[in-house]
Chain A
């Protein structure tokens, strides 16, 4: 009951926060000046420019402009993306799919690596393997992704040419259908091994770089829950009935330690979306991060607004899900005791 009330309250707040976010970002971006340059061509006369400003209502005060933007949003019109030379609504789905695909693969790297390292660290607490696992995960969190990406490109792209940059080879990807927008999934759906191999080759390096950075938070949670479960009575009981230590850890301690870790995985996904910015720049991955960076640097305000809107929405939904998961887990703990 309480969880439901909390959920309703949080969901009701969501549009309000989004409104606040959009007001702040809109005002901030308009401080850089009129975005008329995005719509103008170099050979326009001052008169034509003024006409253009009037047409897009850029001559109005900022609050009025914001009202028009909001009205546009309600009608499903997010404006013109100068960096993509297309309406924002036409490209945002593609960009989102590219970033989501990258984030999902990176999450896979972070989850598998994080759970493995966290288990080792928790079981061998304060011993050498614990220190090594923690050091490795903290190293990931401390590595500047843009630099690490660059460093990996030298051997794997420049010298060995194992992994290409970008998201795909256009000639291969024009040949298959794209029902989901996630290239790896699309290539599997279309049963095209060449395309499958191509999409995997492109995503491995950026996913590893991004996932390495997100691993630390999972290792930390997994470690402390392992430390906790390892001292539980049911683990002693499992040992007492003569189960080999490997199975005790795998079936009893780790399985229970995974529950709290699952909530942290949600949080790390928010981190992945943010970390994707630098990774996308380095690997020329055509996702949201690359899109918004070029928009910010060229004053493309419609694109910036769209990006902020969609990422903050995802951010908040993730946080909400994590909070609900915590509440659910808490309740279970209360019910169980």
Chain B
């Protein structure tokens, strides 16, 4: 396949930058459509897309699939008559845990928590990271230097440990896990967007827009940012999965409230039963985490591959 790569060599003298800008934008969209087609030609990516769709449906239809537990639907309903029931026991397709909590119910409502976790963390860190990275790259000089040293400091601490420490300080709750991950995850985006913006700033079309006397904000908004966001999309897709992986590790360690239908907490709850042969709670909850992370990693990997000029078109 061929990529439309002529997008931004603006040497055609007579055209006004405004026109060029709208043309650049349509070329950009054409290229994006091309990339999407390329991505969907990869069978692994298609598998990922299918799994994500199923998870989204599951999260959306949770109240229809199971009867929501009152007052808190994110706590499994307790069936005290069926403790540690094996999968298949009437009413419990995937069995129950040591307090009679239904595993299937936990997995279905857990998908909502995973969605909430990943969306909140990824969107908020994208905004913070893009802001910090943009300010650094657009202003340059001392501000850039200072912000990048802050980024270095954050990057020097292992993500999981940093989040673990923050979550532990804030106290065990799911909301604090989200908060802790948001504090940790923005740094990568700041670094990526800064590098991209510095690259884009050196291109002819940005110079052209400057020459015409456009304001820095306009140049940033219309020329720089749209051409710099692609690597962020890849990273954000991968992080939709990574965030859930790390979040699950945190609640596995014991930083979510007890009995929550969060998959990592469920693995932890089922752990003690394993010695007695009750493998189902941990196994099924872990499979849910695995599938979630796998789906987003497959799609992210496919995207990265389609956008990578190194492997493109060979």
Q: Is the CB of B44 within 8 A of A315?
A: no
Interface residues of A in 125-152 (CB under 8 A from B): 125, 131, 134-135, 138-139, 141-148, 150-151
Q: Is the CB of B164 within 8 A of A296?
A: yes
CA distance A134 to B168 in the complex (A): 36
Q: Which A residue's beta carbon lies closest to that of B172?
A: A297
Q: Which A residue's beta carbon lies closest to that of B285?
A: A147
Q: Which B residue's beta carbon lies closest to that of A230?
A: B314
Q: Which residues of A contact B158 (CB under 8 A)?
A: 270, 273-274, 277, 311-312, 315
CA distance A278 to B286 in the complex (A): 14
Interface range, A side: 35 or more
- Known: A134-B301, A227-B311, A311-B158. Is A147-B274 also a contact (CB below 8 A)? no
Q: Is the CB of B286 within 8 A of A274?
A: no
- Confirm or deny: B187 has a beta carbon within 8 angstroms of a beta carbon on chain A: no
**Main secondary structure on chain B at its contact with chain A?**
helix
Q: How would residues 125 to 150 of chain B score, 1 for a CB under 8 Å from any chain A CB and 0 otherwise?
A: 00000000000000000000000011
- Confirm or deny: A281 has a beta carbon within 8 angstroms of a beta carbon on chain B: yes
Q: How would residues 245 to 282 of chain B score, 1 for a CB under 8 Å from any chain A CB and 0 otherwise?
A: 10011001110000000001001000100110001001
- Confirm or deny: A5 has a beta carbon within 8 angstroms of a beta carbon on chain B: no
- Known: A21-B156, A231-B314, A315-B156. Is A147-B286 also a contact (CB below 8 A)? yes
- Confirm or deny: B82 has a beta carbon within 8 angstroms of a beta carbon on chain A: no
- Known: A227-B314, A315-B156. Is A143-B149 also a contact (CB below 8 A)? no
Q: Is the CB of B160 within 8 A of A142?
A: no
Q: Is the CB of B252 within 8 A of A146?
A: yes
- Confirm or deny: B212 has a beta carbon within 8 angstroms of a beta carbon on chain A: no
- Known: A147-B267, A308-B161. Is A135-B166 also a contact (CB below 8 A)? no
CA distance A143 to B288 in the complex (A): 10
- Confirm or deny: A28 has a beta carbon within 8 angstroms of a beta carbon on chain B: yes
Interface residues of A in 305-337 (CB under 8 A from B): 307-308, 311-312, 315-316
Q: Of B168, B267, B301, which one neighbours A150 at CB under 8 angstroms?
A: B267
Q: Which residues of A contact B156 (CB under 8 A)?
A: 17-18, 21, 312, 315-316
- Confirm or deny: A62 has a beta carbon within 8 angstroms of a beta carbon on chain B: no
Interface range, B side: 35 or more
Q: Which B residue's beta carbon lies closest to that of A298?
A: B168
Q: Which residues of A contact B264 (CB under 8 A)?
A: 144, 146
Q: Which A residue's beta carbon lies closest to that of B263?
A: A144
Q: Which B residue's beta carbon lies closest to that of A16?
A: B149
Q: Is the CB of B165 within 8 A of A29?
A: yes
CA distance A281 to B44 in the complex (A): 32
- Confirm or deny: A188 has a beta carbon within 8 angstroms of a beta carbon on chain B: no
Give B270 Cβ to nearest chain A Cβ, in Å.
9
Q: How would residues 186 to 206 of chain B score, 1 for a CB under 8 Å from any chain A CB and 0 otherwise?
A: 000000000000000000000
- Please name 9 pairs of A and B residues whose Cβ atoms are closer than 8 Å in the assembled complex, sorted by A: A17-B153, A20-B149, A21-B157, A143-B290, A144-B289, A216-B297, A220-B301, A292-B161, A316-B156
Q: Which residues of B approach A to under 8 Å, CB–CB?
A: 43-44, 149-150, 152-153, 155-161, 164-166, 168-169, 241, 245, 248-249, 252-254, 264, 267, 271, 274-275, 279, 282-283, 285-286, 289-290, 293-294, 297-298, 301, 308, 310-311, 314
Q: Which residues of A approach B to under 8 Å, CB–CB?
A: 13, 16-18, 20-21, 24-25, 28-29, 31-32, 125, 131, 134-135, 138-139, 141-148, 150-151, 153-154, 158, 216, 220, 224, 227-228, 231, 270, 273-274, 277-278, 281, 292-293, 296-297, 304, 307-308, 311-312, 315-316
